[in-house]
Protein backbone atom coordinates (compact mmCIF):
# COMPACT_ATOMS: atom_id res chain seq x y z
CA UNK A 1 0.00 0.00 0.00
CA UNK A 2 1.05 3.60 -0.61
CA UNK A 3 0.50 6.76 1.48
CA UNK A 4 -1.91 7.89 -1.27
CA UNK A 5 -4.21 4.99 -0.34
CA UNK A 6 -5.11 6.63 2.99
CA UNK A 7 -8.69 7.93 2.96
CA UNK A 8 -9.11 11.15 4.91
CA UNK A 9 -12.45 12.13 6.48
CA UNK A 10 -14.56 15.13 5.46
CA UNK A 11 -12.43 17.13 7.95
CA UNK A 12 -9.28 16.06 6.08
CA UNK A 13 -8.10 13.90 9.00
CA UNK A 14 -7.33 10.23 9.61
CA UNK A 15 -7.09 8.66 13.11
CA UNK A 16 -3.65 7.22 13.89
CA UNK A 17 -3.25 4.54 16.58
CA UNK A 18 0.22 4.72 18.13
CA UNK A 19 1.67 1.44 19.45
CA UNK A 20 5.04 0.76 21.10
CA UNK A 21 6.89 -1.51 18.64
CA UNK A 22 8.75 -3.43 21.36
CA UNK A 23 6.08 -3.90 24.05
CA UNK A 24 2.90 -3.77 21.96
CA UNK A 25 1.46 -1.16 24.37
CA UNK A 26 -1.07 1.23 22.80
CA UNK A 27 0.33 4.69 23.61
CA UNK A 28 -2.11 7.21 22.16
CA UNK A 29 -4.66 8.01 19.49
CA UNK A 30 -3.84 11.04 17.38
CA UNK A 31 -4.89 12.47 14.01
CA UNK A 32 -2.98 13.10 10.79
CA UNK A 33 -3.75 15.02 7.64
CA UNK A 34 -2.18 14.51 4.21
CA UNK A 35 0.73 16.83 4.98
CA UNK A 36 1.49 15.36 8.43
CA UNK A 37 1.47 11.80 7.05
CA UNK A 38 3.87 12.84 4.26
CA UNK A 39 6.16 14.50 6.83
CA UNK A 40 5.96 11.41 9.08
CA UNK A 41 7.29 9.18 6.30
CA UNK A 42 9.91 11.76 5.18
CA UNK A 43 11.31 12.28 8.68
CA UNK A 44 10.76 8.78 10.04
CA UNK A 45 9.06 10.28 13.12
CA UNK A 46 5.43 10.89 13.95
CA UNK A 47 4.02 14.20 12.78
CA UNK A 48 0.34 14.76 13.62
CA UNK A 49 -2.31 17.39 13.06
CA UNK A 50 -3.37 19.04 16.32
CA UNK A 51 -7.15 19.42 16.33
CA UNK A 52 -7.04 21.89 19.25
CA UNK A 53 -4.27 24.13 17.87
CA UNK A 54 -5.36 23.54 14.25
CA UNK A 55 -1.79 23.07 13.06
CA UNK A 56 0.86 20.52 12.13
CA UNK A 57 2.30 18.99 15.30
CA UNK A 58 5.75 17.40 15.17
CA UNK A 59 5.44 15.21 18.28
CA UNK A 60 8.33 15.86 20.69
CA UNK A 61 9.57 19.13 19.19
CA UNK A 62 8.75 20.86 22.49
CA UNK A 63 8.88 17.99 25.02
CA UNK A 64 11.74 16.08 23.41
CA UNK A 65 9.63 12.93 23.61
CA UNK A 66 9.64 11.97 19.95
CA UNK A 67 8.07 8.92 18.31
CA UNK A 68 10.49 7.40 15.74
CA UNK A 69 8.54 5.25 13.27
CA UNK A 70 9.07 1.48 12.99
CA UNK A 71 6.14 0.61 10.69
CA UNK A 72 2.95 2.10 9.30
CA UNK A 73 -0.14 0.00 8.58
CA UNK A 74 -3.53 0.81 7.08
CA UNK A 75 -6.85 -0.85 7.91
CA UNK A 76 -9.22 -2.73 5.59
CA UNK A 77 -11.28 0.42 4.90
CA UNK A 78 -8.16 2.59 4.45
CA UNK A 79 -9.60 5.12 6.93
CA UNK A 80 -7.47 4.33 9.99
CA UNK A 81 -3.70 4.03 10.41
CA UNK A 82 -1.58 2.04 12.88
CA UNK A 83 1.92 3.34 13.58
CA UNK A 84 4.40 1.19 15.51
CA UNK A 85 6.98 3.47 17.13
CA UNK A 86 10.07 3.41 19.37
CA UNK A 87 9.46 6.37 21.74
CA UNK A 88 12.36 8.42 23.13
CA UNK A 89 10.30 9.19 26.29
CA UNK A 90 6.75 9.11 27.70
CA UNK A 91 4.11 9.47 24.97
CA UNK A 92 1.62 11.24 27.26
CA UNK A 93 1.90 14.91 28.26
CA UNK A 94 1.21 13.80 31.87
CA UNK A 95 4.53 11.92 31.93
CA UNK A 96 2.81 8.52 31.73
CA UNK A 97 4.19 6.02 29.21
CA UNK A 98 0.77 5.76 27.55
CA UNK A 99 -2.17 8.17 27.39
CA UNK A 100 -4.42 5.18 28.27
CA UNK A 101 -3.35 4.91 31.91
CA UNK A 102 -6.84 4.93 33.51
CA UNK A 103 -9.34 2.10 33.63
CA UNK A 104 -13.11 2.20 33.29
CA UNK A 105 -13.38 -1.59 33.54
CA UNK A 106 -10.99 -4.45 34.41
CA UNK A 107 -7.20 -4.26 34.51
CA UNK A 108 -4.20 -5.31 32.41
CA UNK A 109 -2.29 -7.34 35.00
CA UNK A 110 -2.02 -10.32 32.65
CA UNK A 111 -1.19 -8.23 29.58
CA UNK A 112 1.76 -9.36 27.44
CA UNK A 113 2.91 -5.73 27.13
CA UNK A 114 4.44 -6.18 30.58
CA UNK A 115 7.20 -8.26 29.00
CA UNK A 116 8.23 -5.24 26.89
CA UNK A 117 7.96 -2.89 29.87
CA UNK A 118 10.18 -5.26 31.88
CA UNK A 119 12.71 -5.28 29.03
CA UNK A 120 12.84 -1.46 28.97
CA UNK A 121 13.17 -1.43 32.77
CA UNK A 122 16.03 -3.97 32.71
CA UNK A 123 17.85 -1.92 30.06
CA UNK A 124 17.71 1.04 32.46
CA UNK A 125 18.72 -1.06 35.49
CA UNK A 126 21.74 -2.36 33.58
CA UNK A 127 23.25 1.15 33.89
CA UNK A 128 22.75 1.22 37.68
CA UNK A 129 25.51 0.63 40.18
CA UNK A 130 26.28 -3.06 40.61
CA UNK A 131 26.10 -2.62 44.38
CA UNK A 132 22.45 -1.60 44.23
CA UNK A 133 21.09 -3.75 41.45
CA UNK A 134 21.09 -7.55 41.06
CA UNK A 135 20.33 -7.06 37.36
CA UNK A 136 23.32 -4.73 36.92
CA UNK A 137 25.57 -7.23 38.74
CA UNK A 138 24.43 -10.07 36.48
CA UNK A 139 25.08 -8.00 33.36
CA UNK A 140 28.44 -6.66 34.53
CA UNK A 141 29.60 -10.12 35.66
CA UNK A 142 31.01 -12.91 33.50
CA UNK A 143 28.54 -14.27 30.91
CA UNK A 144 28.85 -17.70 32.48
CA UNK A 145 27.07 -16.38 35.60
CA UNK A 146 23.81 -15.32 33.91
CA UNK A 147 24.10 -18.37 31.62
CA UNK A 148 24.26 -20.63 34.68
CA UNK A 149 21.11 -18.99 36.09
CA UNK A 150 19.22 -19.68 32.84
CA UNK A 151 20.30 -23.33 32.93
CA UNK A 152 19.24 -23.61 36.58
CA UNK A 153 15.88 -21.92 36.11
CA UNK A 154 15.22 -24.08 33.02
CA UNK A 155 15.76 -27.20 35.13
CA UNK A 156 13.68 -25.82 38.03
CA UNK A 157 10.81 -25.00 35.63
CA UNK A 158 11.15 -28.52 34.20
CA UNK A 159 10.88 -30.09 37.67
CA UNK A 160 7.85 -27.97 38.57
CA UNK A 161 6.08 -29.05 35.36
CA UNK A 162 7.06 -32.72 35.78
CA UNK A 163 5.75 -32.77 39.37
CA UNK A 164 2.59 -30.93 38.27
CA UNK A 165 3.07 -28.11 40.77
CA UNK A 166 1.22 -25.29 39.01
CA UNK A 167 2.08 -22.55 41.50
CA UNK A 168 5.77 -23.49 41.41
CA UNK A 169 5.64 -23.66 37.59
CA UNK A 170 4.45 -20.04 37.41
CA UNK A 171 7.13 -19.00 39.92
CA UNK A 172 9.99 -20.79 38.17
CA UNK A 173 8.86 -19.82 34.65
CA UNK A 174 8.84 -16.16 35.76
CA UNK A 175 12.41 -16.61 37.08
CA UNK A 176 13.38 -18.23 33.78
CA UNK A 177 11.88 -15.43 31.68
CA UNK A 178 13.56 -12.76 33.82
CA UNK A 179 16.99 -14.41 33.54
CA UNK A 180 16.52 -15.07 29.82
CA UNK A 181 15.88 -11.32 29.29
CA UNK A 182 19.00 -10.49 31.32
CA UNK A 183 20.98 -13.05 29.29
CA UNK A 184 19.83 -11.42 26.04
CA UNK A 185 20.74 -8.00 27.42
CA UNK A 186 24.21 -9.25 28.47
CA UNK A 187 24.65 -10.69 24.96
CA UNK A 188 23.60 -7.43 23.29
CA UNK A 189 20.55 -9.14 21.79
CA UNK A 190 16.88 -8.18 22.02
CA UNK A 191 13.63 -10.16 22.44
CA UNK A 192 12.64 -8.97 18.93
CA UNK A 193 15.33 -11.23 17.49
CA UNK A 194 13.70 -14.22 19.23
CA UNK A 195 10.25 -13.28 17.90
CA UNK A 196 11.72 -12.96 14.38
CA UNK A 197 13.32 -16.42 14.67
CA UNK A 198 10.08 -18.00 15.95
CA UNK A 199 8.08 -16.32 13.16
CA UNK A 200 10.48 -17.79 10.57
CA UNK A 201 9.82 -21.29 11.91
CA UNK A 202 6.10 -21.28 12.63
CA UNK A 203 3.41 -20.26 10.22
CA UNK A 204 1.29 -19.04 13.10
CA UNK A 205 0.01 -15.99 11.27
CA UNK B 1 -12.95 6.39 35.92
CA UNK B 2 -16.61 5.91 35.02
CA UNK B 3 -18.33 5.44 31.64
CA UNK B 4 -19.81 8.94 32.15
CA UNK B 5 -16.28 10.39 31.92
CA UNK B 6 -16.06 9.56 28.21
CA UNK B 7 -16.24 12.72 26.09
CA UNK B 8 -18.09 12.20 22.84
CA UNK B 9 -17.39 14.36 19.77
CA UNK B 10 -19.84 16.80 18.17
CA UNK B 11 -21.11 13.78 16.17
CA UNK B 12 -21.82 11.94 19.44
CA UNK B 13 -19.05 9.40 18.79
CA UNK B 14 -15.82 8.32 20.47
CA UNK B 15 -13.07 6.32 18.68
CA UNK B 16 -12.42 2.89 20.24
CA UNK B 17 -9.08 1.13 19.70
CA UNK B 18 -9.53 -2.65 19.88
CA UNK B 19 -6.54 -4.65 21.09
CA UNK B 20 -6.16 -8.40 21.59
CA UNK B 21 -5.72 -8.88 25.37
CA UNK B 22 -3.43 -11.91 25.01
CA UNK B 23 -1.18 -10.95 22.09
CA UNK B 24 -1.30 -7.14 22.28
CA UNK B 25 -2.15 -7.01 18.55
CA UNK B 26 -4.20 -3.95 17.51
CA UNK B 27 -7.23 -5.46 15.78
CA UNK B 28 -9.38 -2.55 14.60
CA UNK B 29 -10.49 1.01 15.17
CA UNK B 30 -14.23 1.45 15.59
CA UNK B 31 -16.59 4.07 17.02
CA UNK B 32 -18.99 4.05 19.94
CA UNK B 33 -21.76 6.34 21.10
CA UNK B 34 -23.18 6.65 24.60
CA UNK B 35 -25.67 3.83 24.07
CA UNK B 36 -23.16 1.41 22.50
CA UNK B 37 -20.64 2.00 25.30
CA UNK B 38 -23.34 1.34 27.90
CA UNK B 39 -24.34 -1.88 26.08
CA UNK B 40 -20.66 -2.91 25.83
CA UNK B 41 -20.27 -2.76 29.61
CA UNK B 42 -23.67 -4.39 30.27
CA UNK B 43 -23.05 -7.32 27.92
CA UNK B 44 -19.28 -7.63 28.40
CA UNK B 45 -18.84 -7.65 24.61
CA UNK B 46 -18.02 -4.89 22.15
CA UNK B 47 -21.02 -2.97 20.82
CA UNK B 48 -20.17 -0.19 18.37
CA UNK B 49 -21.96 2.48 16.37
CA UNK B 50 -21.73 1.81 12.64
CA UNK B 51 -21.03 5.10 10.87
CA UNK B 52 -22.00 3.65 7.46
CA UNK B 53 -25.26 2.00 8.55
CA UNK B 54 -25.95 4.72 11.15
CA UNK B 55 -27.02 2.19 13.78
CA UNK B 56 -25.90 0.28 16.86
CA UNK B 57 -23.65 -2.61 15.81
CA UNK B 58 -23.25 -5.58 18.13
CA UNK B 59 -19.99 -6.93 16.72
CA UNK B 60 -20.32 -10.61 15.78
CA UNK B 61 -24.13 -10.83 15.81
CA UNK B 62 -24.01 -11.70 12.09
CA UNK B 63 -20.51 -13.16 11.65
CA UNK B 64 -20.30 -14.90 15.03
CA UNK B 65 -16.93 -13.26 15.55
CA UNK B 66 -17.60 -11.49 18.82
CA UNK B 67 -15.21 -9.42 20.93
CA UNK B 68 -15.62 -10.28 24.65
CA UNK B 69 -14.27 -7.44 26.77
CA UNK B 70 -11.25 -7.86 29.09
CA UNK B 71 -10.68 -4.22 30.04
CA UNK B 72 -11.67 -0.71 29.03
CA UNK B 73 -9.32 2.27 29.32
CA UNK B 74 -9.74 5.97 28.65
CA UNK B 75 -7.06 8.39 27.45
CA UNK B 76 -5.75 11.54 29.16
CA UNK B 77 -8.21 13.77 27.26
CA UNK B 78 -11.13 11.35 27.83
CA UNK B 79 -11.88 11.46 24.09
CA UNK B 80 -10.51 8.06 23.04
CA UNK B 81 -11.09 4.58 24.43
CA UNK B 82 -8.91 1.44 24.44
CA UNK B 83 -10.68 -1.91 24.71
CA UNK B 84 -8.69 -5.08 25.37
CA UNK B 85 -10.67 -8.05 24.07
CA UNK B 86 -10.53 -11.84 23.68
CA UNK B 87 -11.95 -12.40 20.16
CA UNK B 88 -13.93 -15.53 19.29
CA UNK B 89 -12.74 -15.28 15.66
CA UNK B 90 -11.10 -12.92 13.14
CA UNK B 91 -11.86 -9.27 13.93
CA UNK B 92 -11.75 -8.18 10.27
CA UNK B 93 -14.59 -8.81 7.80
CA UNK B 94 -11.94 -10.05 5.31
CA UNK B 95 -11.18 -13.00 7.60
CA UNK B 96 -7.84 -11.53 8.71
CA UNK B 97 -7.10 -11.55 12.44
CA UNK B 98 -6.65 -7.76 12.41
CA UNK B 99 -8.01 -5.05 10.11
CA UNK B 100 -4.45 -3.64 10.00
CA UNK B 101 -2.97 -6.38 7.80
CA UNK B 102 -1.39 -4.16 5.12
CA UNK B 103 1.80 -2.13 5.39
CA UNK B 104 2.59 1.32 4.01
CA UNK B 105 6.05 1.30 5.59
CA UNK B 106 8.24 -1.29 7.35
CA UNK B 107 7.10 -4.63 8.77
CA UNK B 108 6.33 -6.23 12.13
CA UNK B 109 8.66 -9.23 11.95
CA UNK B 110 10.20 -8.39 15.34
CA UNK B 111 6.88 -7.51 16.98
CA UNK B 112 6.16 -9.04 20.41
CA UNK B 113 2.58 -9.77 19.31
CA UNK B 114 3.99 -12.84 17.56
CA UNK B 115 4.39 -14.52 20.95
CA UNK B 116 0.62 -14.25 21.49
CA UNK B 117 -0.10 -15.44 17.95
CA UNK B 118 2.20 -18.43 18.52
CA UNK B 119 0.35 -19.20 21.76
CA UNK B 120 -3.03 -19.16 19.96
CA UNK B 121 -1.55 -21.34 17.20
CA UNK B 122 -0.15 -23.87 19.70
CA UNK B 123 -3.53 -24.08 21.44
CA UNK B 124 -5.06 -25.04 18.08
CA UNK B 125 -2.24 -27.49 17.25
CA UNK B 126 -2.73 -29.20 20.60
CA UNK B 127 -6.04 -30.54 19.26
CA UNK B 128 -4.38 -31.99 16.13
CA UNK B 129 -3.57 -35.66 15.68
CA UNK B 130 -0.40 -36.66 17.50
CA UNK B 131 0.86 -38.33 14.32
CA UNK B 132 0.89 -35.06 12.41
CA UNK B 133 1.96 -32.56 15.05
CA UNK B 134 5.10 -32.49 17.23
CA UNK B 135 3.33 -29.98 19.48
CA UNK B 136 0.30 -32.30 19.92
CA UNK B 137 2.64 -35.23 20.71
CA UNK B 138 4.46 -33.20 23.36
CA UNK B 139 1.18 -32.15 24.98
CA UNK B 140 -0.40 -35.62 24.83
CA UNK B 141 2.75 -37.30 26.16
CA UNK B 142 3.90 -37.51 29.79
CA UNK B 143 4.65 -34.12 31.39
CA UNK B 144 8.21 -35.27 32.04
CA UNK B 145 8.86 -35.24 28.26
CA UNK B 146 8.10 -31.54 27.65
CA UNK B 147 9.71 -30.75 31.03
CA UNK B 148 12.90 -32.48 29.91
CA UNK B 149 12.92 -30.40 26.69
CA UNK B 150 12.67 -27.16 28.73
CA UNK B 151 15.59 -28.24 30.91
CA UNK B 152 17.64 -29.17 27.83
CA UNK B 153 16.88 -25.95 25.95
CA UNK B 154 17.65 -23.92 29.09
CA UNK B 155 21.10 -25.53 29.27
CA UNK B 156 21.67 -25.12 25.51
CA UNK B 157 20.72 -21.42 25.73
CA UNK B 158 23.10 -21.12 28.71
CA UNK B 159 25.98 -22.67 26.75
CA UNK B 160 25.32 -20.41 23.73
CA UNK B 161 25.40 -17.31 25.96
CA UNK B 162 28.49 -18.48 27.88
CA UNK B 163 30.40 -19.13 24.63
CA UNK B 164 29.20 -15.78 23.22
CA UNK B 165 27.68 -17.36 20.11
CA UNK B 166 24.98 -14.80 19.29
CA UNK B 167 23.42 -16.70 16.39
CA UNK B 168 23.19 -19.87 18.48
CA UNK B 169 21.78 -17.87 21.42
CA UNK B 170 18.89 -16.64 19.25
CA UNK B 171 18.31 -20.18 17.96
CA UNK B 172 18.35 -21.85 21.38
CA UNK B 173 16.36 -19.09 23.09
CA UNK B 174 13.64 -19.51 20.42
CA UNK B 175 13.63 -23.28 21.14
CA UNK B 176 13.39 -22.53 24.85
CA UNK B 177 10.48 -20.10 24.44
CA UNK B 178 8.60 -22.54 22.19
CA UNK B 179 9.00 -25.42 24.65
CA UNK B 180 8.14 -23.18 27.61
CA UNK B 181 4.84 -22.26 25.89
CA UNK B 182 4.13 -25.95 25.23
CA UNK B 183 4.97 -26.73 28.87
CA UNK B 184 2.50 -24.07 30.06
CA UNK B 185 -0.14 -25.45 27.69
CA UNK B 186 0.45 -29.02 28.97
CA UNK B 187 0.12 -27.69 32.54
CA UNK B 188 -3.14 -25.86 31.73
CA UNK B 189 -1.45 -22.52 32.45
CA UNK B 190 -1.19 -19.42 30.27
CA UNK B 191 1.57 -16.87 29.58
CA UNK B 192 -0.66 -14.22 31.23
CA UNK B 193 -0.03 -15.91 34.57
CA UNK B 194 3.73 -15.47 34.07
CA UNK B 195 3.29 -11.76 33.17
CA UNK B 196 1.14 -11.29 36.29
CA UNK B 197 3.83 -12.93 38.47
CA UNK B 198 6.61 -10.80 36.91
CA UNK B 199 4.53 -7.65 37.37
CA UNK B 200 4.07 -8.47 41.05
CA UNK B 201 7.85 -8.67 41.50
CA UNK B 202 9.13 -5.80 39.39
CA UNK B 203 7.99 -2.23 39.60
CA UNK B 204 8.68 -1.79 35.90
CA UNK B 205 5.61 0.31 35.26
- For chain A, give every domain's residue range: 3-85, 113-201
B8 touches chain A (CB under 8 A): no
Residues A77 and A9: beta-carbon distance below 8 Å: no
| Short-list A111, A128, A113, A122, CA closest to A19 | A113
Give the nearest partner residue to B118 out of A25, A115, A204, using CB atoms. Answer: A204
Architecture of domain A113-201: Orthogonal Bundle (1.10)
B102-105 sheet: strands from edge to edge: A26-32, A14-20, A81-85, A69-74, B102-105
Average pLDDT over residues B39-60: 97
Among A38-42, B128-132, B177-181, B187-191, the range scoring the smallest mean pLDDT is: B128-132
Q: pLDDT for A144-184, tens place per residue?
A: 999 999 999 999 999 999 999 999 999 999 999 999 999 99
Across the interface, whether the CB atoms of A74 and B100 are under 8 A apart is answered yes
Indicate which of A15, A28, A173 best probes the interface with B, i.e. most B CBs within 10 Å of its own CB: A173
| Short-list A114, A147, A195, A173, CA closest to B170 | A195
Confidence of residue B127 (pLDDT cuts 50, 70, 90): confident
Determine what percent of chain A is predicted with pLDDT higher than 70. Answer: 99
Whether A23 shows a pLDDT value over 60: the answer reads yes
Burial of B4 (0-12, 13-18, 19+ CB in 10 A): exposed
Across the interface, whether the CB atoms of B99 and A75 are under 8 A apart is answered yes
Across the interface, whether the CB atoms of B41 and A105 are under 8 A apart is answered yes
The nearest alpha carbon in chain B to A109 belongs to: B196
Interface of A with B in 162-191 (CB under 8 A): 162, 164, 166, 169-171, 173-174, 176-178, 180, 183-184, 186-191
Residues A114 and B199: beta-carbon distance below 8 Å: yes
Give the nearest partner residue to B71 out of A17, A103, A201, using CB atoms. Answer: A103
Burial of A18 (0-12, 13-18, 19+ CB in 10 A): buried
Instruction: Quote helix, strand, coil % in chain B, to nearest 5.
Output: 40, 20, 40
Cα–Cα distance measured from residue B11 to residue A81, given in angstroms and rounded to the nearest whole number: 21
Q: Assign B73 to helix, strand or coil.
A: strand
Give the nearest partner residue to A73 out of B104, B152, B159, using CB atoms. Answer: B104
Average pLDDT over residues B155-170: 98
Confidence of residue B205 (pLDDT cuts 50, 70, 90): very low
Across the interface, whether the CB atoms of A94 and B108 are under 8 A apart is answered no
Domain B3-85, CATH class in plain words = alpha beta
Cα–Cα distance measured from residue B55 to residue B39, given in angstroms and rounded to the nearest whole number: 13
Across the interface, whether the CB atoms of A174 and B197 are under 8 A apart is answered yes
Cα–Cα distance measured from residue A30 to residue A91, given in angstroms and rounded to the nearest whole number: 11
How far A191 CA lies from chain B's nearest CA (Å)?
A: 8
Q: Assign A144 to helix, strand or coil.
A: helix
Average pLDDT over residues A2-24: 97
Confidence of residue A129 (pLDDT cuts 50, 70, 90): confident
Give me the half-sphere count of Cα atoms (radius 13 Å) on the Cβ side of residue A71.
18
Average pLDDT over residues A191-202: 94
Question: What is the model's pLDDT at position A205?
Answer: 46
Among A89-93, A115-119, B123-127, B171-175, the range scoring the smallest mean pLDDT is: B123-127
Amino acid sequence: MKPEDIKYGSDGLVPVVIQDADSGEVLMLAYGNEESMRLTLERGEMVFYSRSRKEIWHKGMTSGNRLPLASLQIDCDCDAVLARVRPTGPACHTGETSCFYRFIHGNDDDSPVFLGRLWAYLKKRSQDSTEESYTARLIAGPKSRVAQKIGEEGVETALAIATEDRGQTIYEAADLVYHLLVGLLASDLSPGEIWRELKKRHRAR
